[in-house]
Amino acid sequence: MINVIGLGYIGLPTALAFATSGQDVVGSDCNPEVVAQLRSGKARFNEPGLNELYAAALEQGVRFSDHYERADVYIVAVPTPYDKFTNKVDATQVVKAIDAILAVAPQGAIIVVESTLSPGAIRKSVRPLLLQRGFKPDEDVYLAHAPERIIPGAMLRELRKNNRIIGCDVPEIGEKLKTLYSAFCEGEIVVTDVQTAEMCKVVENTFRAVNIAFANELARICRYEDMNVYEVIRICNMHPRVNILQPGPGVGGHCISVDPRFLIGDYPSIAKVVAAAMETNDSAPDFVLERIREIMRVEGLVDTSRVGLYGLTYKENVDDVRESPTLQLLELQRRRLAQPLNAYDPYVTRDLVERQFHDLDAFLDANDLVVIMVKHQEIIDAMDKLKGKIILDCHNVCNLPNAYRL
């Protein structure tokens, strides 16, 4: 049996994928409200195909519990937040989950951590816990790391199709896990040691963060010279060995905006390029705010109550607001005691900010300057409604003559 610990964005799809591949699965979460919702027949969040996978998993007998059960394999998918001041990852929830697992785990159980960790975290934080509990690591209980590589909006497809890393210091256990994950994973599965797996996950997202930072810095250079950064990138990317990403209003989500900080926190005297890149990305919402003020001066606008931010999520066509650049921008306004801006997002139905709209037409009617913070398909399909508006397009999706760009 497989016991999946933590039923959030990663744990729930993983539990459902294993269940529909024929495995005996119980999903556990310490939040009884989460368990009650799943037992009632409702998936926890919006994701293409999730409801269908959930229904299929129920037919296969997946169960949900608020406690951990005796199992052959435990998959830990709990949050690993970081301290914004020290850039250190907080592995407390992982350690607590594994401590609770050890109270019920049978001899020979395999504990797989899918939560993203700093390189060396399992060696430093988890193995000592096993020893304290009287277990011999990699003899009585086996430890592994299988970091996820999926994004909201394409979770289920990427869960099946993406390549995968299995980190385990006992090769035969690593191969056993490779076979287990192969039940639903169609991508290549690479088996390596635990610390290499930890490092690879963090490095993958760090590489993307640094590339985005370069694009964001290039946007500022081009703005200084009154050049079109998107045309510069388009032409540069015609070179066979150049692939510059697109600039944007900031970096959100729980991977690219967070994982590089693990390297900064653990290697502060070494990770200089990473630290500089994160400073650039962190300042992107402030750059957007300055562009808003600049455009207001040029257009003669004085009333910020007629400025609206389109999009509250961290990326397009999802309801995930973790580390949202729009929320970061609004927090900057609040800290500076400035009047809050209007906001709207078709995927965010609950009130998150002070002046939030829940209807596109009402939002557009209320604003003279519309800032496209997120390129949801809705706004791309509604470009005709933006005629007559002043637009700050942070994603180069609007071809109207009244659009400004980063």
Q: What is the pLDDT of residue 166?
A: 97
Within this chain, domains 2-192 and 202-282 share the same CATH topology: no
Residue 298 above 90 pLDDT?
yes
Q: What is the pLDDT of residue 209?
A: 96
Q: In what order do the strands lie in the sheet with 2-5?
A: 63-65, 25-28, 2-5, 73-76, 110-113, 142-145, 164-168, 189-192
Pick the CATH number of 2-192 from 3.40.50.720, 3.40.250.10, 3.90.1150.10, 2.60.120.10: 3.40.50.720
pTM score: 0.89
Q: Are 113 and 94 in contact, with CB atoms under 8 Å apart?
A: yes
Which residue has tokens 């697992």? 101
Burial 32-70 (b: 16+ CB within 10 A, else e): eebbebbeeeebbeebeebeebbeebbeeebbbeeebee
Q: What is the pLDDT of residue 132?
A: 92
pLDDT tens digits, 229-275: 999 999 999 999 999 999 999 999 878 888 999 899 889 999 999 99
DSSP alpha helices (H): ranges in 60-134? 92-102, 121, 127-132
Q: Are 114 and 76 in contact, with CB atoms under 8 Å apart?
A: yes
CATH architecture of the domain 202-282 equals Orthogonal Bundle (1.10)
For the chain, give percent helix, strand, coil, nearest 5: 40, 15, 45
CA distance 259 to 281: 13
Q: What is the mean pLDDT of residues 267-295?
A: 96
In sequence order, what are the residues at sequence separation of 6 or more whose Cβ sits closer than 8 angstroms to the Cβ of residue 180?
Answer: 2, 23, 73
pLDDT tens digits, 12-37: 999 999 999 999 999 999 999 999 99
Q: What is the pLDDT of residue 42?
A: 79
**Selected catalytic residue, list 201, 315, 394, 398:** 201
Q: What is the pLDDT of residue 151?
A: 83
Average pLDDT of the chain?
Answer: 94
Q: Can you give the residue ranges of every domain in the chain? A: 2-192, 202-282, 284-405
pLDDT band at 48 (very low <50, low <70, confident <90, very high): confident
Strands 369-372, 25-28: pairing is unpaired
pLDDT band at 150 (very low <50, low <70, confident <90, very high): confident
Helix (H), strand (E) at residue 252? none
255 is catalytic: yes
Q: What is the mean pLDDT of residues 73-92?
A: 83
pLDDT band at 186 (very low <50, low <70, confident <90, very high): very high
**Selected catalytic residue, list 255, 315, 375, 394:** 255
| Nearest Cα to Cα of residue 84 among 307, 318, 287, 323 | 323
Q: Are 292 and 371 in contact, with CB atoms under 8 Å apart?
A: yes
Q: Are 114 and 147 in contact, with CB atoms under 8 Å apart?
A: yes
Q: What is the pLDDT of residue 139?
A: 92
Report helix angle 194-224 to 272-282, nearest 10.
50
pLDDT tens digits, 88-140: 778 889 999 999 999 999 999 999 999 988 899 999 999 999 999 999 999 99
CATH number of 284-405: 3.40.50.720
